[in-house]
Structures are given as C-alpha cells and as structure tokens.
Amino acid sequence: MTVSQNRAASKGMIDNEYQPNSEYVQFNGPSDGPVFIFAHGAGADMTHEFMDNIACGLAATGIRVIRFNFPYMIRRALEAKKFPPDRAPKLMAAFESVIRHYAAQPVVIGGKSMGGRIASLLNQHHQVKGIACLGFPFHPPGKPEKQKGEHLAICERPCLILQGERDTFGCREEVTAMALSPQVQVVYVPDGDHSFKPRKRSGHTEQDNLAFVVEKLSEFIWSTHHEK
C-alpha cells in the first residue's frame, strides 16, 4: 500500500464509526457475560501486555471484555508513524461509537490511564451503569497543579478507581486529599506505580498486584451489573 493509500485508509477509519468484527476491536470472555468496554492508555494500544492481562483475568470471571483502539492509534498502525492522542471530544466520540455498536444493554466502561479518564467523562451517557479507571491520570507527573480530575467531584455513576500508592500521576497522599463524589470509590494498589508495579523491597509482587486489581475490578463490574 502506498503512503497516499495508507492516509486514505487511515482517514476512513477515523471518520467512520467502528464496525463489527473490525481488526481494531477485540473480545474476551463469554458472550452472555456482563459487558466491560476497556480502553487503552495514551502510549500503548489495546494489545499491550497490561491490557491483555486484565482482559483475560476478567474473562476468567465470566465478564465479556471489549477492547478497541482509539482513532490516533489506528493511524499509527496504518501509517507506521507515531501520532499523539486526539483531543478529548474525538476520543469521547470514538468511545461512544463502540458503546453504540457493541452494547445492547447498560454496560460498565473504563480504561487504563487516559482511557479511564475518557470513560469518566462519559459518566452521564444513558447506557453507562458504571466506570472503572485503572491508574487515573489526575495530573502529569511532577505537575500537580495541572489537575485533570475535577469532574470526579460531580460524577453521577458508580466509579471505581484503582490507583497505585506511588502513582506519579496521583499518589495516595494526593488523591486522599481530593474532593471526589460519593459515587467514586478509590482502591489503592499496594506500593504500585502507574502500572501497579511495586518495588522489590515492598514485599509485594507485580503478579499479586494485577491479581488484586482483577479481583476488585471483577467485583465492581458484577455488582454494578446486578444493580437495578
């Protein structure tokens, strides 16, 4: 495919809604399980090892996990060139498109870092029952004055935030001091960084932390699914 053809294909994927059976959407878990739409973070796509570990872990508990790539990540794949994330409105529109195509019933949505933040901005969507954020980017590392989570103070849907205690995008001490809606529950991952990795001297392991995250996330999705 030529460069111009790549660009044309890329533009088509960005301008059009996601289609069923697209190579940019992946499924894990039983088709009759509660649905969790799981968005990737800013720097890695839906196939990243972290995304795969969480999706497969949830699938083992009976949850139907749907992963997808945002438009800018599709451009990266088609043009073999790095592009920065699109602005929030475009990311939100892509997320809503996935909800329309793949959610026949109310769903829980969420994501890793940026993906979780975009999900949280859709908390008033009529098909969204709950939101789950894995490593919420409350602020850029080293810039606590640039807050990105103010909307969580008025979140109207049940929201679970799984946050590493040492996350440089918002550590335990910082997040504990924030004003959050009563609907928002923060669960801290022991000694975890932004990807939930602990230090060796902590006595915790990455494997144990990921298992902890899957357990808490699964409990939240199932309980939210059963709420009337």
Q: Residue 224: which residues within 8 A CB-CB, separation 6 or more? A: 34, 108, 129, 130, 158
pLDDT value of position 161: 99
- Report whether 42 contacts 114 (CB < 8 A): yes
Cα–Cα separations (whole angstroms), residue 85 to 6, 89, 130: 19, 11, 24
Q: What is the pTM of this model?
A: 0.91
State how far the alpha carbon of 121 is from the alpha carbons of 7, 92, 147, in Å.
30, 8, 14
Contacts of 202 (CB under 8 A, 6+ apart): 190, 191
CA distance 95 to 29: 20
Confidence at residue 22, expressed as pLDDT on a 0 to 100 scale: 75
Of 71, 66, 108, give the one whose Cα is nearest residue 87. 71
Q: Are 10 and 79 in contact (CB under 8 A)?
A: yes
DSSP structure class, residue 17? P
Low-confidence ranges of the chain (pLDDT < 50): 1-15
The CATH architecture one would assign to domain 25-226 is 3-Layer(aba) Sandwich (3.40)
Question: What confidence tens digit (pLDDT) does each residue in 23-71 have?
Answer: 889 999 999 999 999 999 999 999 999 999 999 999 999 999 999 999 9
Angle at alpha carbon of residue 169, lines to 165 and 174, rounded to 5°: 60
Strands (E), the chain: 25-28, 35-39, 64-68, 107-112, 128-134, 159-164, 184-189
Question: What pLDDT is stored for residue 227 in this prediction?
Answer: 81
